Structure formats: structure tokens, C-alpha cells
Chain A
Amino acid sequence: MSLPVYGILLASFSRHSHQRNFISAFRANPRVRIVAVADEPDIDAALRAVNKKWANELNVPYVEGIDEALNLSGVDIVSIAHEIERRADIAVRAAMAGKHLWIDKFMGRSLAECDRVVKTVAQAGVASIVPSYVYSEFVLDTRRILRSGAIGELLGLHIDVMFGKGMPHPIPNAPVSFPMTPPGRWKYAELKREVLTVGAYAVGLIQCCLGRIHEVYGQGGAYFFPEHAINRVDDFGTLTLTDTTGRTATVAAGRIGVASHPAGGPQDGFLFGTKGTLYIDGKRPRIDAFLRPRILNAGYLPPPDDPMQWASGAPTTGIPLTADPNIRALDDLVDALDRGAQPSYTVQETRDHMEILLAGYHSMVKGCPVSLPLHEEVIP
């Protein structure tokens, strides 16, 4: 008997998303096929053009109207990579239509939106996966070594995740006092809130290592980019988290500018156990390549049409040897669908993940630790 092939609908190629990064995994897996690209009718012309370009490249139809696309025959999974403000709504509609969900990083802009998705997914009985956090070798190696007992019982951890992207500039009138802009508004024309965007990877790893997070202390307000300073939103920040047993995780995360690291930004994990400390460099394994012409001709200036380098990166001296984590994530989803089960990182874990990050932001605004569960939200 042949195994089923699951059809995927690609919902939007928003600039702020990773839909383009998922394509190679979707294409490489014989158990899935891309059925169509779809988006809402009220999007801007630039996004519509990108969506159509991808539909042409993938040789699938472009459907205007996600509800219409959900009715296409052969759609089993919806890959949701719209703006963060639209993801929860699309996820809820897709789940209610009986489609399984593949969601890029964040499924909503608030805890209330995340809760709505979790509830709908449970009621609809569909599978869900958020592939961004726990399928990298960085996380898998960490979990494997932790489980082996080699470092004894875990006491705590520290994680540095930073993107060596964008070109920082001096900030003549840097805002040296609070308030930082409260959480809730995530979308700006040419910037992202980086504790959310980059710190999210560290928080995903922490979820795999610690128990339920009990307290979060966040710090922001040191700026690399004038765009962030003007809007008083974070380009760099730190988090300190404790779980219910008193174990601690510290995180440094942000966008720190080009040429600040040989492999495009540190991705380091230190796990402290009773029998030893585990260090994992998430940018390894890699081949270190010192090729004279490439170094002498390296262009570090970000492209004018991608100043924060959301879709590009600075030159590095490392050639990664790690596999695409989306391939593993897709295997997990397909396996879950075959078994009628859920993948390892679902909308429930993502909801808790968002709660931790929101608590970090509230802490930055208040200047003191914030306890979980989170009881407040500020959504403009």
C-alpha cells in the first residue's frame, strides 16, 4: 500500500516570515506536495507580486482569498507565514476547515490570540507544528547530551543567540531612559523587535531543558540601530528566567551588526550540571574557510533593499555542515499525521513560548521581574 502524500497550501510569503526557507524541505520530501500559494485580497501590491512570483516558480496556482484556497482539493496542511498580526486568524480558519497547521515562529501577536489558536486546534482535532525552534542540531544535541546524564543534574544554562546582520550607526540622541515601547506592536516598516525575533530561538531551547518557567527578568534599551532607538524598541536584550524548581536560564539576544562574528553571529549554549558543563556551538559543525579572494573581496555592507538583512547575511568564514532543521520538522509532522498523533512542538508549546517572551517585555517596561502565568497584556 502506498503512503499518502499530503498537500500543502502556502499561505503568504510575507517579508517578515520564513516561507521561502521552508520551500526546499517541502520540495525534498516525497510525502508532501505544494498545492498552491494563497493570500488575502487586501494585501499590498509588493507582497502580491512576491506571492505570484513564488507561485510561478513552484508551478502552482496563486489563489486570492485564503478561505477559497482552503476549499481547494488536496489541501491537507497550511503553511502559515503571513504577518504576525494575521497568523492567528488564518490558523483558526484553517483548523476549523480541518487542515493541519505548519506555522512560522509565532502564531499570534498576543497571548489571547495564541490561546484562541490552541483551543481551536484542540477542538478541530488537527495536528500542528511550529518548526522553528526544536529541530536544529543545536537543540537536538543539547537534549541528547542532557538525557545521557553526562553532565549530571541540570542546574541552569546560558545562551547567546545573536544575528551579525545590519549596519549599526551612531545614535546622536540615544534615548537613555525608559519607557521602552510595550509589547504588542511587533510590525514596523524596517525593523523587528529583536528579543522576540532572535531571543525566540533561545527560549525554544530553554523550554526543552527547564521545567515550567516561573519568573522572567528582561532588560533592553541598549541600541545598535537608530531605527530601533527612535521607536524605543529593542534591537538587543537580555532575559533571566527561573523555573519552578529555581533553575535559571540567562539569554543574550539581538541583532548586533555585520562583521561581529566569524559565522554570522554567536549561537552558544552553556549548560551547567552537577557533574560538568556542556558547551555547544550552534554554528558548528562547520568548515572554516579562509579563501583569500573571498576575504579580500567580502562585501559587508547590507543590500539597500534589505538593510536589516532579513533575507540575506553578511559574509562568513564558516561553511555550515548542519542539516536544514525544516527537513526534520517536516518528517516529524508527516510521521505524526501517519500515526494520528501530534509532532513534538505544537501550538501549545508555542503559546507558552510566547508567554515567556511577553513576560520578558513586560519586565523590560517595568524594570523588575515578572511572574508567570502572565495576567496582563498590552495590545495597541
Chain B
Amino acid sequence: MSRPCLVVDAETFRDVTAIAETSPPVGIVNISSQKLTCRVAPVFPDLKQALSAHPVSTVVFLSQYSGLYADVRMALETGTQVVSAGPVPCSLAAWENLTGQKTSGQGNLVLPFWPAYMAPHARMAREARHPDFGQPVYYRCLSAGGSGLLAHWWTQCRMWQCAVDALGSAVASGYVAARRIGSALQISLTLRMRNKAHAHLVTVPLLSGGRGETYLLGTGGALSDSGYENAPRIHGVSGVRLATDDDGSGRAVLIADVFAGREVRTGPDETGWSRALLKAIRSALRTGNLTKVV
């Protein structure tokens, strides 16, 4: 039986609560400063305490934080399987240590291939493979980036995977620009694919509608998906708000797979670009210039 432990912040905790009612995790690790309460599973302040309290089969890191690398390593060393919702920010050597299982334990680190978990994306990509769509030309996705640079980076990585999947081609080159004012961050990534299609992937501080705004253009026409337009909306005294539990990020599906003991769906092992992207984002923030990623 699967005995997962989930590492969350306040935002990803929302994805956990519904499924935890029916399949309680062994524990929940709260990495945010906000107090989180769960009726069905104990909440721990750090991973070490969670791992000591109960036997854990899998640790699922749903949010990134500064201690992510150390915690992933610790979990692997105890022989626990690790699923990380995004890449681990670390050097190439450190990454090879983690993925090459050169740690003393027997654990294995898996990164999900997000396009396989996102139903709206999968539907759009399937439609784009229909002959009516013609040749893919352009993919644009705008999405809320989350809190902080690493959250934006994870979102950009997820969108990168989706762009590659939707346009049916590997990335040939990419440039990133980033701007921060206070805690508000915006990142614009421009990709050119080997098949000459282009993509704009933009993370922003605030955008209603979970999965964001996606537009996919082919020579045969266009497909678009608006997280906002597709969400039920409540018009109340304080304005309009969205009434939806699923943000379309695919996290809930991933968690369900882990709880059910199903194998995590993975894609091509392309972690080199994710580290290059993080480095380029940091450089773009420092210089204010368009910065080459690949």
C-alpha cells in the first residue's frame, strides 16, 4: 500500500485537502509560514520529523523552497521514493548525484511530465495533431507564476514541457526577460522550436483562472483555452469571483496517481534546460536584458 507524505505550501495544500479526505497521507509537511490544519493527517513543520514519525513510501514535493535539495537528498538516503513537481535547484554535479542514485539509500527521484497530467492541455494537443490543424505555428501561455522566483521557474518549466508537446518539436533557442518590482515578478520566455514554430511563455504575479490563458495557432486555424472563461463565476456584492476547485495545473491528478500507487508519468529527461532557464532568469533580473537560455 502506498504511504505518501506530501510537502506543501498554502497554495498546493488546497490540491491536497480533497483527496486526503478519501486517501489520507501519512503526513503533510508544511513549508509555508502559514498555519495549515488537516483533519485526516498530521501536519509536520519539516520533513525530518515526518520521516521519523511513520514509515513513508513516497515523498511528493508539491512546492519548492530553499531547503528542497537537502530534503530530496535526505529522503533518497532513507530509501524513500521521491516525486518532485519541478526540478531541484542545484548544480549539475549535485543533480547527477541525486538522479544517479549515488546517495547511500535506494530511493529514486522522479519528475512528472506535466502535459500528461493536464487534461485541458492534453485535449488541445490531441486536437492539434488532427490534420485540420495543419502545421503548428505558435503557442502562447500566460499563467500565474506563484510566490517567488523558484515558483515562477517551476511554472515556466511546466509551460516549457507543454509548448514542446503542443508544437511537436524540441526547442532550438530561447531568450528570457524578467522584471521584479517589490515581490511582484514577471517572466517572459520566448522559444523558437526546431520546426520553426514559436512560443511565448509568460508568468505573471496575478491571473485568475488557474491554468491561465493558452492560445495555439496552426496553419489550419487556432485553439484557445481560457482558465477564466472556462471557470464557473459568482457575481457577488464584492464583485466577480471564480468558483472552481481545479486549477488545471494537473497537481491533483498527480497526487491521485501517487495515492493509487500508479507509476508517475515521465517525459524525456531534459533537466539541462531547466537549470539553464533558472540561471538565465536570474541573469535577466540582474541585467534587465533579454538573456539567452539555450
User: Which A residues fall within an 8 A CB radius of B?
Assistant: 152-153, 155-156, 158, 160, 162, 168, 170, 174, 176, 214-215, 217, 219, 221-224, 236-238, 240, 242, 244-248, 250, 252, 256-257, 259-261, 266, 270, 272-277, 279, 367-369
Contacts and interface: CB of A to CB of B under 8 A. Distances in A.
Contacts, number: 141
A222 B168 CA distance: 14
Contacts of B184: 152-153, 155, 273-275
Contact of A217 (B181, B195, B202, B290): B290
Contacts of B285: 246
Interface string B159-170: 000000000000
12 contacts: A156-B188, A174-B135, A222-B198, A223-B219, A238-B198, A240-B175, A248-B177, A248-B178, A252-B217, A270-B202, A273-B184, A369-B290
A152 B135 CA distance: 39
B197 A222 contact: yes
A80 B262 CA distance: 68
A202 B179 CA distance: 20
B204 A272 contact: yes
In which size bucket is the chain B interface?
Answer: 35 or more
B187 to A, nearest CB: 8
Q: Sorted from nearest, which 8 A-B pairs have the closest CB atoms?
A: A246-B288, A155-B186, A274-B184, A248-B177, A272-B204, A248-B188, A222-B137, A250-B200
Given A155-B205, A242-B289, A260 B221 contact: yes
Contacts of A219: 190, 192, 198
Given A155-B184, A369-B290, 5 more contacts: A222-B198, A245-B179, A246-B178, A247-B179, A369-B289
B267 to A, nearest CB: 24
Interface in B208-245: 208, 213, 215, 217, 219-222, 228
A151 B30 CA distance: 31
B134 interface: yes
Interface centre among A242, A248, A252, A256 (most CB of B within 10 A): A248
B140 interface: yes
Given A156-B188, A256-B217, A248 B196 contact: no
A266 B14 CA distance: 34
A176 B196 contact: yes
Contacts of B90: none
A215 B289 contact: yes
Contacts of A270: 142, 202, 204, 213
Nearest to B185: A155
B204 A217 contact: no
Contacts of B94: none
A155 B138 CA distance: 23
Contacts of A162: 217
Nearest to B184: A274
Contacts of B204: 155-156, 270, 272, 277
Given A217-B175, A242-B290, A246-B179, A274 B205 contact: yes
Given A266-B215, A277-B206, A158 B175 contact: no
Contacts of A261: 222
A150 B217 CA distance: 31
Contacts of A273: 184, 205
A238 B207 contact: no
A204 to B, nearest CB: 19
Contacts of A153: 181, 184
Contacts of A247: 179
Interface string B105-138: 0000000000000000000000000000011011
A153 to B, nearest CB: 5
B177 A224 contact: no
B222 to A, nearest CB: 5
A168 B190 contact: no
A236 B142 contact: no
A174 B287 CA distance: 38
A222 to B, nearest CB: 4
A260 B222 contact: yes
A160 B140 contact: yes
B179 A156 contact: yes
Given A155-B205, A238-B190, A275-B206, A224 B219 contact: yes
